[in-house]
Amino acid sequence: MDNKKKESVPLVCHGHSRPVVDLFYSPITPDGYFLISASKDSTPMLRNGETGDWIGTFEGHKGAVWSCCLDTNALCAASASADFTAKLWDALTGDVLHSFDHKHIVRACSFSEDTHFLLTGGFEKILRVFDLNRPDASPREIEHSPGSIRTVLWLHSDQTILSSCSDSGGVRLWDVRSGKMVHTLETKSPVTSAEVSKDGRYITTADGSSVKFWDANNFGLVKSYAMPCNVESASLEPKFGDKFIAGGEDMWIRLFDFNTGEEIGCNKGHHGPVHCVRFSPGGESYASGSEDGTIRIWQAGSLNPKEKESAVPNGPVASDETGTKLEDLKV
């Protein structure tokens, strides 16, 4: 290896013992921003979003955790699990605030923008909206067909719900007030990742070997790009919206020009398929989670344009601790 060649060296975050399947960045808060990860090892982990330093581990699930999220102020976390529950956590202490029982595997969860509601979906083919001000109350239920639910998101100031199925293409949009489906974003393959851009203009989806961008207001297809391999996740740069990243089965994280679809950078470091990629809220870095059980945080400006050589496989280790309490979150 030419030691003079500049290579991208990510922060490598250890701690999970099984594949990392979901990542979520909080918005920027007065205390910075935070990164939560979901893993098949049943223990979501919270980290400093900028440094990758471990803050704490949420313990309580008895099955794989498929989805995780933080509320707007990063004071509460939520997780969706194969143990038939979604859990609400105190992000300061790590304590379970409430456990929402389901009748089958829960694959997805999402806080409403105003933080008053938690949306869940999974193998039951039912969308549930839980009122966090009355957590013991029965949730509002929306029958979802034809397949089990893979992703859920809120749109338009919590007036619209997005959902995708594990076994059919497309994203379905639901009116929260009526509970009726109002539109479908058509894709040929199942949508494995969905994201609403920071400015609310675009919906980014990954389906099979393509990444698509949809107008979040009229739901028209804005751009569709073929990928070099099957990708599981994609994320649009939040500050300027001029580039996006995608990761999938070939273990590489690729950077593309949003306007042209041209590949402008590529990083390698994971030792298994990439299941999730997300830009940080300011766009200066992004995180990737993999089958290899690690999270890697990359500086957005460190990508090597057009270089296909392997990057250094191991970089600085952010943290590898495990624990149950999060008292040091806001210090």
Only one residue has tokens 């704490």, namely 56
- Structure token pair of residue 191: 């949508």
* Inter-residue contact 91 to 80 (CB < 8 Å): no
Does position 233 have pLDDT exceeding 70, yes or no? yes
pLDDT in tens, 131-187: 999 999 999 999 887 789 999 999 998 999 999 998 889 999 999 999 999 999 999
Residue 301: helix, strand or coil by DSSP? Answer: helix
Rounded to whole angstroms, how far apart are CA atoms 287 and 327? 24
Cα 147 from chain centroid (whole Å): 21
Per-residue burial over 114-142, b if 16 or more Cβ lie within 10 Å, else e, is ebebbbbbbbbebbbbbebeeeeeebeeb
Phi/psi region, residue 178 (left: phi>0; alpha: psi -120 to 50; beta: rest), is alpha
Residue type at 162 in one-letter notation: L
Give the whole-number percent of the chain exceeding pLDDT 70: 89
* Inter-residue contact 123 to 105 (CB < 8 Å): yes
Domains detected in the chain: 11-319 (2.130.10.10)
What is the residue-wise DSSP string for 4-43? Answer: TS-----EEE---SS-EEEEEEPPPBTTB-EEEEEETTS-
- Structure token pair of residue 3: 């030691």
Does position 261 have pLDDT exceeding 60, yes or no? yes
So what's the pLDDT on residue 41?
Answer: 98
pLDDT in tens, 2-27: 333 344 689 999 999 999 999 999 99
199 band by pLDDT with thresholds 50, 70 and 90: very high
pLDDT in tens, 50-77: 999 999 999 999 999 999 999 999 999 9
- Structure token pair of residue 13: 């975050």
Q: Kindly report the pTM of this predicted structure.
A: 0.89
Does position 313 have pLDDT exceeding 60, yes or no? no
Rounded to whole angstroms, how far apart are CA atoms 277 and 288? 4
Average pLDDT, the chain: 89
pLDDT in tens, 281-310: 999 999 999 999 999 999 987 444 443 333
**In Å, what is the CA distance from 328 to each residue of 94, 129, 324?**
11, 31, 12
pLDDT in tens, 205-226: 999 999 999 999 999 999 999 9
